[in-house]
Amino acid sequence: VGATTNYFSNAYVDVSALARSENFTLDYDGQPIIGYDENVAKDLLRQEEFDDYFLVNIVGGKSWKIGDYFVGFFATINNVLDQEYKTGGFEQSRLSKYNSVLEDKSRQYGPVFGSRYFFGNGTTYYVNLYFRF
């Protein structure tokens, strides 16, 4: 029987290249956006960092010799603490203009076109039974 722990940190969402192009600062006529604030833009385009997290796993097994044969099992329990965590994600590219992104991120209940995330599994189990001859 054994246990492993994994610590994950310094993970970030993939950025939208379109939102970081010249297109972000220009209106639909190709003119600079009126009211563009570089400090606000930096905040809007700050790359999102995921929370750090630990995963705890338990592994173990046992075998028995019966005559000339072996019978046994091996089992693992992954993410014992049922930690919810993000494994990755990406920024949407639907809104690529300063005014649109500012309006979307200023919504009372969060952005409509916010980042999309991938989540890891909760607690998972694996059991292997074997007969060796």
Measuring CA to CA, which residue among 78, 83, 72, 84 is closest to residue 58?
Answer: 78
Per-residue pLDDT at 120 exceeds 90: yes
Listed by start position, the domains of the chain span 2-132
Looking at residue 30, its pLDDT comes to 87
What's the average model confidence in pLDDT over 46-61?
97
Per-residue pLDDT at 62 exceeds 90: yes
Kindly report the length of the chain.
133
Who has greater pLDDT, 53 or 27? Answer: 53
